[in-house]
Structure 1
């Protein structure tokens, strides 16, 4: 069926398929079909439609390690109205940016960065950005701890799948390897999965030059350890969600952790993290419309004990999400 804005609205089976892919992005269509009680052909057809009409992408993503976290930042850039678009696109071309959106009437660019070294981090914040014309203000917030997001997908809060269905789709790593870090020799494998998280083992073998058995073994190790996860990204407007916003929250010191943990349980919250700076929590929320956003802010979040101040930045458009430009809204937070 069609919405009033001519956006195709996907149905319950589409939502179930999306959550199934979020549970195991590399699950064979036959296993997903069996769990959902439909044919393999139906799942393949729905998957193709989600890709062509709903912006679905399944991609491999490096998890942020404790070592990397020191260089994990959220940047808020105030720009002149004529410059925000070009500045956002320039940032999107950098390998150390993972998520970029335009907010606040198009005069604010919000960018998540993950530099490889502290020198690279400082070069961007203290060197490149201050010298960029038409940036009027720069605020850098180091992200200290993630309450929700990354491997924990927003669709998991939808309830589209039963507990039993999720368990049937969850990969079994009960006897998995010890924690494994991504090594330089894994870069070709990670790059291939960044392009297509469902790439076949034959395709991964060709991309890496390793034997198929070696690729299988190494991929299992990286997924089991959590060093790598498979992310699902899509346009949430096709599920009836058309309002996205960043929240900059100040919580009382004694309630800081409690507020962050509470946010992680809210269905509207796709991402929440502790931050250093004038705000101590930043979150991304997904709502159906502006009325739902108002209800969430005034009733659920506004009444949460310990919340002292909230600044809301509606997201106008995504410029980059994780590894590619013109990203779609899905988890939208990783």
Structure 2
């Protein structure tokens, strides 16, 4: 079991969750820690692989395809192999197994011209017993908007980044937004490997001036082609339990339900699914008792708006925010 970090490390992680490229100086100013302490501890967290800072693009803005919530069923003995295979697929954003049943869940982005081949040929070649793909209509909260209740709202504001642009971009492409060119895509690729890669290193790799690199990164962040944040196990912050919650509701009330779930800080993301119809959310919690109490509170708060609430705790994460985790093994897994 992952041991939680101490308070100073938790504050540094919370800052990197908000803004992955925040300087050690800015994080020190935000948290009140000494800059050299922040630099030493932050570097250690990254070097030990406890925290990954990655650049991530809105999948639909880079034409990765339509978003789906995937559920893959298989025998218990095949869970690890199938989950590892799925984690290494470029279509998936995250992959996890369920604790209560022999199934894998994932958020996947699949182009229309590749959907049949992926499902009927590549997925069918795996030892699965069933599958479903539910279309994602829109997000009311993204992982980018989750904060673990460690920093105050004033501290979060000091760090800059928020998810408002992400939600706007997900709902409708901003007017006047230009497609990224080959240089932008190369910058995104470099930052997807190391979100804190220096401007010098990026400029040398793509062969352009440092001010141009800064300008391009800032522009892509403004138009939400690029967000840069930490990817980590919430257990490090004291939240070892993650549970997938599905709320079935009348189609006319789905928006209200999604907004209700998104307001709770323990909700990592919340999305509307037109099939069902339903709202799906991922909760991050400290204990089963907290999960029970939170679901009871949801039930009371959603009285008259929801038909049924289901909760499925997660077992193992194989991929988070496009980062394949060590448990998934090598590409041949």
With normalisation by structure 2, the TM-score equals: 0.86
* Matched-pair contact (CA < 8 Å) for 1:60–1:197: yes
State the 1:171 CA deviation: 6.2
Alignment correspondent of 1:78: 73
Counterpart-to-counterpart distance in 1, 2:161 and 2:72 = 40
Match 1:233 to one of 231, 234, 244: 231
Counterpart-to-counterpart distance in 1, 2:129 and 2:13 = 40
State the 1:138 CA deviation: 1.0
Alignment correspondent of 2:267: 269
Counterpart-to-counterpart distance in 2, 1:84 and 1:279 = 28
SS of the equivalent of 1:311 reads: strand
Alignment correspondent of 1:304: 302
Task: Report 1:251-262 matches (<5 A).
Answer: 251-262=249-260
Alignment correspondent of 2:313: 314
Q: 1:214/1:53 Cα in 2 relative to 1: closer, same or farther (>3 Å)?
A: closer
Alignment correspondent of 2:141: 148
Moved more, 210-219 or 253-262: 210-219
Alignment correspondent of 1:125: 119
* Matched-pair contact (CA < 8 Å) for 1:65–1:227: no
State the 1:71 CA deviation: 1.0
SS of the equivalent of 2:76 reads: coil
SS of the equivalent of 1:281 reads: strand
Unaligned residue ranges in structure 2 (runs of 5+): 163-174, 328-333
Alignment correspondent of 2:15: 20
User: How many residue pairs get matched?
Assistant: 314
CA RMSD of aligned residues (A): 2.5
Counterpart-to-counterpart distance in 2, 1:91 and 1:230 = 24
Counterpart-to-counterpart distance in 1, 2:221 and 2:251 = 35
Q: 1:124/1:290 Cα in 2 relative to 1: closer, same or farther (>3 Å)?
A: same
Match 1:166 to one of 147, 153, 156: 156
Task: Report 1:101-120 matches (<5 A).
Answer: 101-105=96-100, 107-115=102-110, 117-120=111-114
State the 1:150 CA deviation: 4.2
SS of the equivalent of 2:254 reads: helix
* Matched-pair contact (CA < 8 Å) for 2:21–2:229: no
1:45-66 per-position Cα deviation (integer Å, ceiling 9, x unaligned): 2213433567111110002446
1:182-226 per-position Cα deviation (integer Å, ceiling 9, x unaligned): 334322211110111111001111332222222111111101111
1:101-152 per-position Cα deviation (integer Å, ceiling 9, x unaligned): 011446101121112x2111332234332x2353111111110100101432
Counterpart-to-counterpart distance in 2, 1:66 and 1:203 = 26
SS of the equivalent of 1:83 reads: helix
* Matched-pair contact (CA < 8 Å) for 2:64–2:91: no
1:235-287 per-position Cα deviation (integer Å, ceiling 9, x unaligned): 22122211111112211222110000011101221011011323521111111
Counterpart-to-counterpart distance in 2, 1:128 and 1:313 = 27
Counterpart-to-counterpart distance in 2, 1:120 and 1:247 = 29
Unaligned residue ranges in structure 1 (runs of 5+): 329-334
The runs of at least 4 aligned residues of structure 1 exceeding 6 Å deviation read none
Match 2:93 to one of 85, 98, 106: 98
- Asked if 1:47 corresponds to 2:46, the answer is no
State the 1:289 CA deviation: 1.2
Counterpart-to-counterpart distance in 1, 2:64 and 2:322 = 18
Alignment correspondent of 2:168: none
